[in-house]
A and B are shown apart, each in its own frame.
Chain A
Amino acid sequence: MDTELTDIELFERVINRDSKALENLYDRYSPVLYTLVKRIVIDQEKAEEILADIFVIIWKKSSMFDINSGNLYSWLINLARNKSLDLMRREESIITDEYTDEYENTFIIPQISTLIPSNDLAKIFSSRDKIYSAFHNLTEAQQYVLSLAYYEGLTESGIAKKLNIPLLTVKSKMRVVLNTLSEIIAKEDKQ
């Protein structure tokens, strides 16, 4: 029965403290979240630990998700990314702040635009091939810069330093990469 629910409907139940709904959400989202977390932290044990923590945060802070945005997928993906990068930065002593409830609300809970287009995991899965091909249509350099920013959590100046290229070049690359990706996906959606 629950498998027929949309992401938002399912999450509404989670907000209303339905543990079965959270279990369904886990079944639905754990593969994609685990893949993302593992891509960031590499280590399997750490990835599993982080994934467990993510679902605890989801349970605790579900009310912080703006249900009107209609895009649970982006919220969860950003939550998983923030949590994983936070752990990595703590291990590298880049972040030394105490992990408090307030810290979690500010830096781990994603700040998503209220005008984000609505999306659903089922819908995304159905167009996964398009996304895959769109990403692989980017040049290797673009893919590399993108992965440095997204999976390694480097800032633009960090990327510039790492690649020993001017900051402006990195900034323009970032703009081009995301615009290109956006155009390819939009184009494939039209087809």
Chain B
Amino acid sequence: MIDEQKIIGMLQAKALGCLDPEDDKEMQDFINEGHQFPWDELGKFQNIASLLPMALNLELPNSELKDRVALKLIKLIEQLRTNKILEEDKFEVEEDYEENADVFTNIEEAIVEQPIEIESEETVIEDNLVSLLNPENNNFNLDEITLPDFKSGEVSDENSVKEITIDSPIETLIGETKIDVPQIEEMNVEEVLQAPEARESIYSESTNNFVAEERQKIEESDEQDTQPDLTRRSVADKMFKAIEQDFDSLKFHFDESERKVTRGLLIAYVLIAVLLALLIFSFFKFSADIKNLENEIKELKSKSTSTLYIESQPKPDHYFFS
């Protein structure tokens, strides 16, 4: 029995993360035993403990660190994407395998079970015939006999079943049994019964067609299986697509920055043009002002010299009338 008070006394150390491993185990046992654990108290102490870094003088990380974090995340995302693609491909391969396995089973069923069914029916007929008929002079009507999985569309006109008549007291017994037999030529019952090859030929064509189709399917699937580089190629394609996407985003960012630079250059050109215009305007204005000033100076000069001249001019009558 673990003392509850002891556990409560451990909460502070637990919150500070300095609980000794033995005490930690004791606490875990206490929780696992289903005792009422003071989660709220622990939460309160965890909250207080997490405030401790706030008493430190805060420092700012290097501004480049944000880019490094971004780079790490991009790498991580790329890695996850690659893993996902690989997993998807693995899954696809597994699915293909399962599908192929189904095909194999179907084919096995088709190849193995169908002939057995046919043979069993045949055996029934054989038994009937052997036990009840005298095959030497008798023929029986196969026209009305139908096999269970026969498709009438597959029967060509040439190979259509011809009527065989059986002069037998048990004609009515067998006559009701219907088996559609594809590609069956008229045969003597004895031949059918005695020569297994001939029997085979009755069913072989349709069965062969079916088997051939299925074989083709298997071969196709085998071809797919024997070309693992195709799968790899698809992985590579997907990876290339992912890389292309990245390139697209980079291109987009590059285009955007290029647009910004062009806009900046345009603004700079406009500013330069405005400044140039201002310069030219001020040049002409100042030169005009200078000219005006020069003219004024000239005028002033001319005025001042004329006054002096007038003042210094001797009176003409000074000599003559003095």
Contacts and interface: CB of A to CB of B under 8 A. Distances in A.
A, B assembled together: yes
B44 A36 contact: no
B223 interface: no
B54 A124 contact: yes
Given A51-B65, A155-B20, A150 B39 contact: no
A154 B57 contact: no
B259 interface: no
B62 interface: yes
A82 B16 CA distance: 11
Interface residues on B, range: 35 or more
Contact of A31 (B43, B61, B76): B61
Contact of B18 (A26, A38, A135, A174): A174
5 contacts: A51-B65, A59-B73, A114-B39, A119-B47, A150-B16
Given A116-B43, A149-B16, A35 B52 contact: no
Interface centre among B17, B23, B50, B59 (most CB of A within 10 A): B50
A44 to B, nearest CB: 8
Interface in A122-151: 124, 128, 131-132, 134-136, 146, 149-150
B1 interface: no
For the complex of A and B, the 8 pairs showing the least CB-CB separation, nearest first, are: A116-B43, A113-B43, A135-B55, A149-B18, A178-B12, A74-B50, A36-B53, A34-B61
Interface string A6-45: 0000000000000100110010001110111011000010
Given A31-B59, A56-B76, A154-B18, A73 B50 contact: yes
B76 to A, nearest CB: 6
Contacts of B68: 48, 52
A36 B50 CA distance: 10
B61 A48 contact: yes
B48 A31 contact: no
B15 A56 contact: no
Given A35-B58, A48-B62, A116-B43, A135 B19 contact: no
A35 to B, nearest CB: 5
Contacts of B19: 155-156
A85 to B, nearest CB: 8
A63 to B, nearest CB: 14
B216 to A, nearest CB: 46
Contact of A39 (B42, B49, B56): B56
Interface SS of chain B: helix, strand, loop or mixed?
Answer: helix
B145 interface: no
A5 interface: no
Interface of B: 9, 12-13, 15-21, 23, 39-40, 42-62, 65-66, 68-70, 72-73, 76
A116 B51 CA distance: 13
A15 B50 CA distance: 22
B210 to A, nearest CB: 51
A113 B42 contact: yes
A30 B65 contact: yes
B40 A115 contact: yes
A185 B45 CA distance: 12
Contact of B43 (A115, A150, A179): A115
B65 A131 contact: no
A81 interface: yes
Contacts of B12: 174-175, 177-179
Contacts of B9: 171, 175
Contact of B17 (A59, A149, A177, A181): A149
B65 A48 contact: yes
Contacts of A115: 39-40, 42-43
Given A30-B61, A48-B68, A178 B16 contact: yes
Contact of A155 (B21, B39, B58, B73): B21
B61 A131 contact: no
A77 B51 CA distance: 9
B36 to A, nearest CB: 12
Given A78-B50, A114-B43, A182-B48, A146 B58 contact: no
